[in-house]
Amino acid sequence: MNSEQAKAVAGPPSGPDTRKRFLRFASRFTVQIALLLLILAFSILSPDFLQPGNWSNIIQQSSIIAIAACGATLVIITAGIDLSVGSVVALSGICAAGLVINQHWPGPAGWFVCIFVGLLIGAFNGFCISHLGLSAFIATLSTLAMGRGLTLALSNGQTVFGLPDSFSFFGGGTLFGVSVPIIVTVIAFTIMHFVLAHTVFGHEVYAIGGNREAARLAGIKVARVEMLVYMLAGGLSGFAGLVLTGRLSAAMPSSATGLELDVIAAVVIGGASLFGGKGNMIGTFFGVLTIGVLRNGLNLLNVSPFWVQFVQGAVIFVAVLLDAIGQRQRR
């Protein structure tokens, strides 16, 4: 009896094998399945959910989280954390708006100010973590407080109005009939996906997150890579501040409060591990969409904002719990 005849006699795969394959498939595409179920549920519960205009709103509203999450994905893959995202977004917007309005800088110059402020804070975070040996949690928590305080001090707690249209292009402009924030989000994810998946730098990021000491022994300059990771995260947060400020046509010192939680949630829901060494931009993209769909759908159902925040926190808890369980099973 040959192997094919033996398989025919044995019959179809047993139940446990089928269940194992199903569980492997479900674990691999958890966020996509969750997103599909959310879309199905909200499309049934709200007739406005599937309208093209609503989906355009979801993507535009999620663009701030998405751009910042591109940088946060790199940070979390290295087993780090960045709690300063919201402060960077607010401070970059206030600095740029102040120079454009009070010092009469041209609008496009304000674009570079936003990115420069983000890069500067990211470099500070990276230096504290990679050279001074501070934990990422403590370093970025300190930057969160200092950045928000500096934002309030520079603006005297007041919103800066009157930004020119040239400055607001990235937040409220259109290109070929498509909203610029959507275009920018797609470009950011495409570039960062290529960097993470197809460059030596991306492989070094994974190596550091997987085993920092082994990466050092393998010749990877860990401190340099970490500096670059936090600078990229800061620069992308600064760019997110540019998009947010342009969208509002104003710089608010209280803007982006709590944004870091949305960003971390999107990355973790997208499959990245807080223990490091795991994650990708495609997963983060679906994580951002999941957060955006969840918030939009609950708002359409007139759910209280307090309960929306509770549900989002519960989703983060479940994602982190599943990650912790998976880590214990792999040991």
pLDDT in tens, 40-59: 999 999 888 988 889 888 98
Q: Is residue 17 part of a domain?
A: no
Based on the number of CB atoms within 10 Å of its own CB, is 89 exposed (0-12), middle (13-18) or buried (19 or more)? buried
Q: Is residue 20 part of a domain?
A: no
Instruction: Quote the CA–CA distance of 59 and 268 in Å, as a whole number.
Output: 19
Select the more confidently predicted residue: 28 or 164. 164
Region class of 272: left (phi > 0), else alpha (psi between -120 and 50), else beta: beta
Tens-digit pLDDT profile for residues 242-291: 999 999 888 999 999 889 989 998 999 898 988 899 999 999 999 999 99
Q: Is residue 320 part of a domain?
A: yes
Q: Is residue 22 part of a domain?
A: no
Q: State the total domains in the chain.
A: 1
Q: Is residue 256 part of a domain?
A: yes
pTM above 0.75, yes or no: yes
Instruction: Quote the CA–CA distance of 248 and 328 in Å, as a whole number.
Output: 45
Q: Is residue 15 part of a domain?
A: no
Question: What residues pair up with 30 in beta bridges, in sequence order?
Answer: none
| pLDDT of 24 higher than 80 | no
Its domain, for residue 95, covers: 59-330
CA atoms within 13 A on the CB side of 160: 27
Q: Is residue 21 part of a domain?
A: no
What CATH number does residue 326 fall under? 1.10.3470
The token pair at 225 is: 């890579």
Report the greatest alpha carbon distance in the chain. Answer: 87
